[in-house]
Amino acid sequence: MPSTWLITGATSGFGRLVADRALAADAHVIAVGRRSDRLADLADSAPHGRVTTVPLDITAPDAEEVLTDVVRAAGGRLDVLVNNAGYGLFGAVEQIDAAEARAIFDTNVLANLAVLRATLPALRAAHGRVVQISSLIGQFAWPSSGLYSASKGAVELIGEALAHELAPTGVKVTIVEPGTFATEFATSLHVVAPDDVYAPTVGKFLTDFSELPPEAFGDPDTVADAIIAVTALDEPPLRLAVGADAIENIRASLRSRLAELDRWESFPRVPVGQGT
């Protein structure tokens, strides 16, 4: 029986690449995205009837209901969810206003949760797989990435809790942490230009990033291939960093955190006879 995949953000980047690979493996793909023209292009490129297109902004109030109905109409079985939709927001924490902060959490976190609620009953029935798309900076933050990193950190911790909660059901959860890859993400992210206060930190980081050479951006096929491969494992990892920069930076961050934990584990030291 062909597997059924639901992929959010299926119209570009990692989502489109994963959809193409799932279709090549004879899966039925429920493709969710905001751009109807790109969804139509995906459907036209696939064998007849193998793509169900769902033009949808996953932050819409009825998104959960729409996706629940779509999964039910597809037979109520879902083998793989790739929870991929999201966008980038970069700028100094102080300078990102409330509306911008709310928007990124609405998309990257609350909509992610709506997709999970809509799909988990069918995934449990199939002992399926959940792939949460995070980022290398879901594990730490750079100057300018505070709000984006916070949203992806939420995705990571939701995914970790979910893995524990779903363990008895047979559903496996993997959090994919891509490094820097050549997708539309880098050209479509929203940047809040820093003022003079943050020019030495946020401004310098953004300038340095904008000047990275093309070879600094990895081939996004690597991430799509990793997603396909990890969903086929009997015992997939909880977290999967993809890209040399992701592995290097996450490892450095974890080592720094461990060193800090070791250094401060006895703080504060209260002299004998003092304190309560």
Cα separation, 10 vs 125, in Å, equals 24
The CATH number assigned to the domain with range 4-264 reads 3.40.50.720
Among 58, 68, 19, 63, CA closest to 41? 19
CA distances from 234 to 134, 182, 206, 257 (A): 22, 30, 41, 31
Residue 143 CB partners (closer than 8 Å, separation 6+): 92, 198, 201, 202, 204, 205
How many other C-beta atoms are found inside a 10 Å radius of the C-beta of residue 17? 21
Residues 176 and 223: their CA atoms lie apart, in Å, by 9
pTM of the model: 0.93
Q: In the prediction, which pLDDT does 274 show?
A: 63
Per-residue pLDDT of the chain (276 residues; tens, 9 = 90+): 789 999 999 999 999 999 999 999 999 999 999 999 999 999 999 888 899 999 999 999 999 999 999 999 998 889 999 999 999 999 999 999 999 999 999 999 999 999 999 999 999 999 999 999 999 999 999 999 999 999 999 999 999 999 999 999 999 999 999 999 877 776 667 999 999 999 999 999 999 988 888 888 889 999 999 999 999 999 999 999 999 999 999 999 999 999 999 999 999 876 666 655
Res 216: pLDDT: 85
Domain positions in the chain are 4-264
Whether 152 is catalytic is yes
The one catalytic residue in 134, 135, 144, 151 is 134
Q: Which entry of 144, 149, 151, 152 is annotated as an active-site residue?
A: 152
User: Residues 177, 250: contact at Cβ < 8 Å?
Assistant: yes
Quote the crossing angle between the two packed helices 111-125 and 146-166, to the nearest 10°.
20
The three-class DSSP label of residue 272 is: coil
Distance CA 220, CA 180 (A): 9
Asked if 148 is an active-site residue, the reply is: yes
Could you tell me which of 82, 23, 16, 4 has the C-alpha nearest to residue 240? 82
Residue 133 pairs in a beta bridge with: 176
**pLDDT in the model for residue 187:** 63
- Which of 148, 151, 172, 198 is an active site residue? 148
Helical H segments across the chain, by residue range: 13-24, 36-45, 63-73, 98-105, 111-125, 146-166, 185-188, 204-210, 221-231, 244-264
- pLDDT at position 183: 76
Task: Report DSSP letters for 38-90, one per residue.
Answer: HHHHHHHHS-TTSEEEEE--TTSTTHHHHHHHHHHHTTS--SEEEE-----EE
